[in-house]
Amino acid sequence: MSKEKSHPTSVKPTKWPPRFPPAAAGIQVNHCKNPKCGNFGVPPKLAVARGGAGTPASSVGPGDYTVVATGKDQPALKCRLCEEITPMQSNLAIAEELMRMSEYLEPVLPQCPNEACSLSEGAPSLENVTRFGTNAHGTPRFKCVGCKKAFSFGGRSTKRQRRSHSNRDILVHLMNAMPLRRIIKVLDISPSQLYDRIDFLYEQAQMFAGERERTLMGRDDLGSRYLSVDRQKLVVNWHSKKVRKNTLLLSIATADQATGYVFGVNVNFDPALDSADVEKDMVRFGDHALARAFRRYARVWLPADWNAAAERAAPRGGTSRKPMESVIEETYDAALGRPDIEDGEGPANSSRAPVKGMLLHEQVVMYAHIQLVTRLLCRAKKIRFFTDQESGIRAAILTAVPKRVLDRTADAFYVKVLKDMSVDMKRALVGATKRRLARLAEKYGVTPEAAELLAAEEELARMVAIGKWGDRWFRHPISEMREPEKSVCWLTDIDPVETEPDKRRLQLSHQALLHLKATLTAVDRFFMQVRRGLTLAERAVASANTDRRLWFGKSAYNPEVLVKVLGIFRTYFNYCEVGRDGKTPAMRLGLARGPIAPEDIIYFTPEPPERRRAPAARSLKPSGPVAHASESLAA
């Protein structure tokens, strides 16, 4: 293997901070994101030069980058092959967020509770315990093979609850647009009991989904998955009248087009962190003297930084009716105007940081979310992402599966949809589509499906280049009420153009089919159900006497509650909500045989480990299924 193709990230840098962020848990996202470049997917060599110095132009090869600055404390990598500049990101932050997101996939296993025992630390393992009967209540008991302590583990999910009969009603009311105050009144329960049950239901929903979604990583029958990715804004009411600003949260979700299954919905909020403790730690680590990509706490927004950025942010006005090309161009310009092109929209001038917990940088959540989805579907024959026009999601996809992009088993598409139209305008576009397809079908004597393909091939010849990078955009020929006007950009079109006429026709036909599949309907349907099913996520209505400030009358005051209810809703939507075909998304994906009743989630308990003999005397080291699951996620 030549020196240029070697991957130096396995070598530990000798200086801190290094020239580029080191890999973490096998994740390295700092490389060229141009699929047509020889540096695509290739991390920098250890000896990265500053500015224009370094390797002579005549000997530039894969792994050659220079470090440049795109702003204050904004280091970036400039590819020496294609001259593309990409901002540096913290691999440690992405790895930490990925592990936090994927905790629900870890099997729940018994572990010795004796703090003096060496087996009480590290990952739980079935090799460290043996079954030891049950207690008087039927709860399984286990014995540690190290200290011989016996303890109870598992059993009924509601074993410590006094009024468990209200669990089903709470779950159903939460998922069907009943406000929290009405649930308390109708069920005659206390607020503390309701919030305790939300915590309980969230844990049960995560455990139930994790038990089934773990199996996706071992399945060979997933075929080709077409995925829709988009983001949704969620708002939490202001906590104090002294600062009348809402807290803005951003969630990202990925839904399967064929089944409607939502593989993940993740919010840029971590309730386990405390801003005061983090600030103390940042001083200890010297984070304030480092660029964000090199910080120990690179994934979090400090409240002071968020509030200052929100004050500097320009007001975001409403959308007006503009041509599609103008909207796409403005989206590119807005991304170029951000300090970090991959960091989403950033703070809004009408928002503030939460009182409890901490907000996370949006691009870290986007990177980790796509990493999680691609690992769950690692055995799929092909993965094709259709995402909203957001540079952060594009970068997350291209860094999660660069090898698959080059092997042509993964693709990414931008999908831009204009929805701000009246019903009459949408109907007019749908009618024009039907008339155009009818003319094509009559002219060539083909079926309506073949007419759609012909219309798509016509649009392929009319594609236009938009934006700084000259991305070619395809005008989708099919108008629907949900997506009346739509344009598509194939971000990973790296196939050479065929020269033989027959092969070229087949190539154009394949491209037309791919562009016809471009849609965000699957994820938009989930987001619509979130708005309609969860009062905590409803839109606000402005009144004349609020000075244009929005008050979300039924929304949460604590972001953690909203995040947990959203997590419960994902499981409920995937396993309980039945479509017109009588199936749930989980049934269509093969994760369930029938609709799941709410009781099956509430009273779900993992299967207890099988009985086995105590192991012979050995060196006791924590290991087992948890370690293997973690390794598969980090692979």
Q: What is the pLDDT of residues 556-580, one digit of tens each?
A: 788 999 999 999 999 999 999 999 9
Amino acid at site 21: P
Nearest to 18 by CA among 80, 75, 94: 75
Q: Average pLDDT for residues 396-416, to the nearest whole number?
A: 96
Looking at this protein, which amino acid is placed at residue 29?
A: V
Q: What is the pLDDT of residues 431-459, one digit of tens each?
A: 999 999 999 999 999 999 999 999 999 99
**Tell me, what's the pLDDT at 627?**
44
In single-letter form, the type of residue at position 259 comes to T
Q: Are 349 and 376 in contact (CB under 8 A)?
A: no
What band does 314 get if pLDDT is binned at 50, 70 and 90? low
Lowest mean pLDDT among 164-178, 337-351, 456-470: 337-351
Reduced to 3 states (helix: H, G, I; strand: E, B; else coil), residue 204 is helix
Residue 353's pLDDT is what? 77
Tell me what the pLDDT averaged over the chain comes to: 85
564 vs 270: CA distance, rounded Å: 11
Axis-axis angle for helices 448-460, 501-516 (nearest 10): 100
Residue with the larger pLDDT of the pair 241 and 369? 369
Query: Is residue 96 within 8 Å of 63, Cβ to Cβ?
Result: no
Q: Percentage helix, strand, coil, to 5, in the chain? A: 40, 15, 45
Q: Is the pLDDT of residue 231 over 80?
A: yes
In 3-state terms, what secondary structure has residue 489? strand
pTM over 0.75: yes
**HSE (side-chain half, CA atoms, 13 Å) at 508:** 18
Radius of gyration of the chain (CA): 26
Residue-wise pLDDT tens digits, 132-163: 888 887 888 899 988 999 998 887 777 777 77
d(CA 502, CA 506): 6
Chain-centroid distance, C-alpha 130: 38
Q: Model confidence over 73-124: pLDDT tens digits?
A: 788 999 999 999 999 999 999 999 999 999 999 888 888 999 899 888 888 8
Q: Residue 631's pLDDT is what?
A: 47
383 forms bridges with which residues in the sheet? 225, 410
Residue 315: pLDDT above 90? no
| Rounded Cα distance, 392 and 387, in Å | 11
Q: What's the angle, vertex CA 87, arms to CA 86 and CA 93, rounded to 5?
A: 130
Cα-flanking dihedrals φ and ψ of residue 36, to 5°?
-90, 0
How many beta carbons lie within 10 A of that of residue 115, not counting itself? 7
- Look at residue 332 in the predicted model and tell me its pLDDT: 84
Instruction: State yes or no: cis peptide before 17, omega within 30 of 0.
Output: yes
Instruction: Decide: residue 79, CB within 10 A, 0-12 exposed, 13-18 middle, 19+ buried.
Output: buried
Residue 385, phi then psi, degrees to nearest 5: -100, 135
Three-state secondary-structure class, residue 213 = helix
3-state secondary structure 422-443: CHHHHHHHHHHHHHHHHHHHHH
pLDDT at position 383: 97
Sorted by where each begins, the domain ranges of the chain are 1-88, 109-153+605-634, 171-313+348-366+521-602, 389-516
- Using DSSP's 3-state secondary structure scheme, residue 361 falls into coil
Tell me the pLDDT band of 3, cut-offs 50, 70 and 90: very low
Would you say residue 634 has pLDDT above 50? Answer: no
